[in-house]
Chain A
Amino acid sequence: MQKIRIEHLSKIFGPHPEQALRQLDEGVDNAEIRKTGHAVGVADVSFDVEEGELLVIMGLSGSGKSTLLRCLNRLNTPSRGSIFIDGEDITRFDREQLLNLRRRKISMVFQHFALFPQRSVADNAAYGLEVQGVDPVERRARAVEALELVGLDGWEDAWPSQLSGGMQQRVGLARALAVKSDILLMDEAFSALDPLIRRDMQQELASLQRRMKKTIVFITHDLDEALQIGDRIVLMKDGRVVQIGTPEEILNKPADAYVERFVANVDMSRVLTARSVMGRARALAFPQDGPRTVLHKMTEGSDTSMLVIERDHTLVGTVTLDALDKAVSEGRQSIADLIQRDAPTIGPDVPLTEIINLMAVWPYRLPVVDEDRKLLGVVTRPRVIQALAQNSTTKTTAEAAPTSAAA
């Protein structure tokens, strides 16, 4: 179900937005409009956010992502277009409706935490409730509950200045969670944290999200972060949407040179999964095959091991070349007791980093299986190397592209 629907949203900063909007319609570019004393924040953006989705809006600074986010709770007033939240057009809301929207339905987490320094941690977490007029006893209880959710129990009476950056942002998160709103806006929420803490917070957000199923709009300039946490990613440039898609789609089918350039800097080994590097298993053995048959199949495939499956593609295990050679010399008729049934397997979503680690200890082919142990594909060393190499070629072409465009 759609939670938020954005239709042809534009935001212009400056004295005469209508005039700039007209220029925008005529296709005048942002730099030209800037000369008239107007800045284009968001230009004709439309997309939906599904209920329970974690949508990442990403772009460089000045791409309009923060402006767009602030339109969603009307900290910025849109110049044109509509935003529907639960079917209601919030661009038409009056003061009263707006206060209600901000108090009950949408809460926000800020890049630099924006904690109130003269309030204790609990009073910070309770701010939204205090503004709503919730009585002190209940709001304290709910603030403590929210602080427990983010792992800050016991810190209620501390001051924000006594906490580390990561903990401060947990308070910021607790403040947003305490009001139990459906929608969470996160403005570069983890960008001010150091990388290790950031990784922790990303994981924590993911686990919170699994439990709470909020609709989250998360802004970042960091593609790794976007790929890590986003169900879908909206890529923005100059106030416009360049591409919308799942992390895989953005990586594998970059819409244009701009996206490609972004993608080029990603650490592929963390992003690629077994599914995207696996190949079709061409040569396969069956449990009832004899060792000679299997050896014959293997010479076609030129490998040191072979996967054994049932007719219905359920994986049985792996046989190695050494074991087969031995069986042939011993004159055995079946491979049934040569099969290593506990050989490692991987799921389709296992990241490449883990696969590489596994390959260091298991020199044979790695079967990719689903939950029912049905064989989906196979990951081999050449395929892994190829996937990593492909990324570096993308990088070089992407770096070359803007130069040729400029020339």
Chain B
Amino acid sequence: MTVLIPKLPLAHGIDEALDWLTLHGAFITRAFSHFVSILIDSLVHGLLWLPPWLLIVAVALLAWRTAGWRVALFSLLGLLLLWNLRLWSATVETFTLVLISTMLAIAIGLPLGIAAALSRRTSQTVMPILDFMQTMPAFVYLIPAIPFFGLGAVSASVATVIFATPPTIRLTALGIRQVPADLVEAADAFGSTRRQKLFKVQLPMAVPTIMAGINQTIMLSLSMVVIAAMIGAGGLGGKVWQAIQRLEPGKGFEAGIAIVILAMILDRVTQRIGRKPPIKTAK
């Protein structure tokens, strides 16, 4: 049976809207892009200016402080391997991209998550948008990102932020909602203002859940680096992308393993930060 209803011009509409936005909004996004790319470049240069061994030792120490000696040892050996494989600068680029994206995601996600936890209406508006952001294939974001932010790392990080922010928002909201009702009541009963209640009771108690959200955001950002390489983001993703185009499985695996090592270090370290139980002993 032939379909008689004409196809809705959805794609056309979206294109039109994006064109309009590009025309009238691109100067803002381009300025933003300029600023972020300077930030990324200087961070990458700064980190590369340091001798790799120093950075490796610093990371290992951080891992030891937060996550124990096993993770520290793993970080040390893993990063030495990356250095040896001549993937150091690519690793630093990827790390920087993840760092910037995660910071942007937290800057957006934390306030939104708090707002969603405190207001039912905000939550009802935000949650469906989050579903959309998370389920839309990440590639699709790359296409409009280019006219707004240009080819390269900034577009990649913007697409990454869109894809990776939802867990931070969701788990921040969840963490605050999960604060037991009687604690919230106690805060009220002693005359806390809304702000005091939020900062003295709700947020401190939500920290472990929020950290779990941030951890997921970091992992999602890392998973975007290969995709982002398609618009010239460089880094370890770039190496993988190169290997795909040149059919070099060995190089592909090298870069892939590097991503896995980086992911594991970031995961173990950030997982522990929020969960450190406060232990003080009474006399």
Contact = CB atoms under 8 A, between A and B. Distances in A.
A162 interface: yes
Interface stretch (B113-121, B159-167, B189-197): B189-197
Contacts of A155: 282
Given A116-B201, A130-B200, A75 B283 contact: no
B280 interface: yes
B183 interface: yes
A131 B196 CA distance: 7
B188 interface: yes
A106 B190 CA distance: 8
A118 B204 contact: yes
B278 A116 contact: no
B205 A117 contact: yes
Nearest to A154: B283
Nearest to A128: B190
Interface in A78-118: 98-104, 106-108, 110-112, 114, 116-118
A384 B183 CA distance: 48
Interface of B is mostly: helix
A258 interface: no
B21 interface: no
Contact of A157 (B182, B185, B282): B282
Interface centre among B183, B185, B280, B282 (most CB of A within 10 A): B282
B47 to A, nearest CB: 34
Contact of B182 (A98, A112, A130, A154): A112
Nearest to A158: B282
B186 interface: yes
Contacts of A117: 205
Chain B, interface size category, equals 20 to 34
A162 B282 contact: yes
Nearest to A98: B191
A155 B183 CA distance: 21
Nearest to B196: A131
A107 B189 contact: yes
Contacts of A306: none
A79 B200 CA distance: 31
A162 B282 CA distance: 8
B148 to A, nearest CB: 42
Contacts of B281: 158, 162
A236 interface: no
B143 to A, nearest CB: 45
Nearest to A124: B186
A116 B203 CA distance: 12
Contacts of B201: 116
A170 B189 CA distance: 17
A106 to B, nearest CB: 8
Contacts of B283: 154, 157
A127 interface: yes
A318 interface: no
Given A131-B190, A159-B279, 12 more contacts: A99-B191, A101-B191, A108-B190, A114-B183, A116-B200, A116-B204, A116-B205, A118-B278, A130-B200, A131-B196, A154-B283, A155-B282
Interface of A: 73, 75, 98-104, 106-108, 110-112, 114, 116-118, 120, 127-128, 130-132, 154-155, 157-159, 162, 175, 179, 185
23 contacts: A73-B189, A99-B191, A99-B193, A102-B189, A103-B191, A104-B191, A108-B189, A110-B182, A110-B185, A116-B204, A116-B205, A117-B205, A118-B204, A118-B205, A118-B278, A127-B186, A127-B187, A128-B190, A131-B192, A131-B193, A158-B280, A158-B282, A162-B281
